[in-house]
Each structure stands twice: as C-alpha cells, then as structure tokens.
Amino acid sequence: MNLIVDIGNSRAKISVMSEGEVVMQHTEESISDATIRDIITRYPTLSAAIVASTRGDGDAVAAQLRNHIGKVLHFSPATTPLPLGNHYHTPQTLGADRLAAAVGVSAMYPGRDIMVVDFGTAITIDYVVDNVFLGGNISPGVTTRFRALADYTAKLPLCSPTEEVLEYGRTTVEAIEQGVMRGVEQEIRGYVEAFLLKNSENCIIFTGGDAKYFVKRIKNAIFADCEPVIFGLNRILEYNAEKF
C-alpha cells in the first residue's frame, strides 16, 4: 500500500492507494503529525509514501513521514525521474501538481495527445503529446476572479460559482456570476478548439474543484473524477520504487 500526500495552495490531501485504487482519502488545511500517526495505525501495511507540495513545505512533511515509513519520496519536478518526457524549460519552477497530473493522464490514456485543464485556485491548461509534457498556461481560477472583483472595486459584492447559464445578468450579482463563469467558459473553449484542430488522437480532461461547472458547458471534455494528480503521484512513486 502507498501513501500519497498532495499539498496544494489551499488544502492538503492524503490518500492511501492499493493496487492502483484509492482506498482512503482525507483532506485538511495542513498535514499534522497526529493525522499521519492515525493513518499509519489504520493502515499498518503502508510501505512507501510520496509527498508533493506547491507551498514549499514538502521537506518537513517528508521528514514527518520518515519517522513512520521506510520509503518516502519527496517529489521534485526538477530532479525526480519520471515515466514521461519533460520539455519544460524551468522545471525548478514547475508546480508538482501540474507535472503529476500530466503523468496521471498519460497513464490513464496511453497513446493519446492530451490537454488537461485543472480548475483550482489557478486554472492550468497543460499538454502531453507523444508521452512528453510540453508545458501549458496558467490563469486565475474561478474563485480567484470573484475575489479580485470584490477586493479591487469599491462596491461590487463577493459572489460564488453558479451552474445557472444566462445570456446576460439582470442584477449586479447575476452580472458578476455570468461574467466570470462565461468568461472562463469562453477562455477554455478557445483552448479546446485550437487543440482539436492540431491533434487527431486527442483527449481533453477536466479536473479540479470547479471542473463540474464547465464539463457540461464545453463539449468533448471528460471529467476526471479519479483525480489525475493522485493517480500520477502514485505512478511516480511506483516508477521510483527501486531507486530509493
């Protein structure tokens, strides 16, 4: 059994995987030693762990885990061997979650050219072609856009994502909701259309907390409810199992 720790911008997720399947998942703001001890107690057959962090606290969490598990890999996009080529020019600045998701979707859909869109605090659009991570783009996420409007204007209220689709807003709240949601929709639709023109054996994956709002709005997209980042981190851990 493997322990997967994915520390994102706003939350940390711990997963236990067995034979490629998630058997337990826990989410909290930051990883505590009490949480680690509890999971180790519940799953005493855990033999290896991987830690990935976008916050810079991965070393500390990896050190915590080494008190309990013999094999612990701190995933670094710049140095960790991968079952995937990487053409990113500055791997030391590449988010671990982006690269792990690329590894995950390439294993889930082998032989396909893939665009993966992660709707989180930031929206990332990344590409895997011929089993190589090419890179991608980053823009503000849905909630980030709502917060920006509330924080940088004098009177606009803080609004939230909505599933309602209107041609135009009839109140200020509706105008903000539709402006943000339809703005993101049109942004991603443009990426999708360009990708489909260039890649014949294509696969478009939507993932992340806000993906559910857009998978019905944009055709040709697959909603990855199996979490490519977790799947990719597990694949990276297994790929490096004999190396540490």
In a domain, 161, yes or no: yes
Q: What is the pLDDT of residue 237?
A: 96
- The catalytically annotated residue of 33, 59, 97, 151 is 97
d(CA 99, CA 87): 11
What is the rounded average pLDDT of the residues 131-137? Answer: 96
Three-state SS at 135: strand
- Is residue 101 located within the same domain as residue 195? yes
Distance of CA 155 to the CA centre of its chain: 33
Is the model's pLDDT at 67 over the cut of 90? no
The tally of domains found in the chain comes to 2
Q: What is the pLDDT of residue 226?
A: 67
Domain membership of residue 182 as a residue range? 86-244
- Is residue 242 located within the same domain as residue 220? yes
What is the rounded average pLDDT of the residues 132-148? Answer: 97
Catalytic residue check, 113: no
d(CA 8, CA 17): 19
d(CA 180, CA 52): 30
- Is residue 159 located within the same domain as residue 121? yes
Q: Can you read off the two tokens belonging to residue 173?
A: 């709240």
- Is residue 113 located within the same domain as residue 48? no
At 50, which CATH number? 3.30.420.40
- 238 — phi, psi (to 5°)? -65, -35
Comparison of pLDDT for 224 and 108, the residue scoring more: 108
Contact 30, 12 (CB under 8 A): yes
- 17 residue type, one letter: M
Q: In this predicted structure, which of 46-50, 74-78, 197-201, 223-227 has the lowest mean pLDDT? A: 223-227
- Is residue 107 located within the same domain as residue 47? no
Over residues 101-110, the pLDDT tens digits come to 999 999 999 9
Q: What is the pLDDT of residue 135?
A: 97
Q: What is the pLDDT of residue 242?
A: 78
- Is residue 146 located within the same domain as residue 168? yes
The confidence band for 33, taking pLDDT boundaries of 50, 70 and 90, is confident
DSSP 75: -
- Is residue 113 located within the same domain as residue 64? no
In a domain, 123, yes or no: yes
- Is residue 127 located within the same domain as residue 14? no
DSSP 93: G
The confidence band for 151, taking pLDDT boundaries of 50, 70 and 90, is very high
Q: Tell which of 16, 43, 74 closes a domain.
A: 74
Provide, for the chain, the percentages of residues in helix, strand and coil under a 3-state DSSP scheme, each rounded to the nearest 5. 35, 25, 35
In a domain, 79, yes or no: no
Question: How do 2-7 and 12-18 pair as beta strands?
Answer: antiparallel
Over residues 162-217, the pLDDT tens digits come to 999 999 999 999 999 999 999 999 999 999 999 998 877 789 999 988 999 998 88
Which residue matches tokens 């999708």?
192
Is the model's pLDDT at 58 over the cut of 90? no
In a domain, 81, yes or no: no
The confidence band for 225, taking pLDDT boundaries of 50, 70 and 90, is low
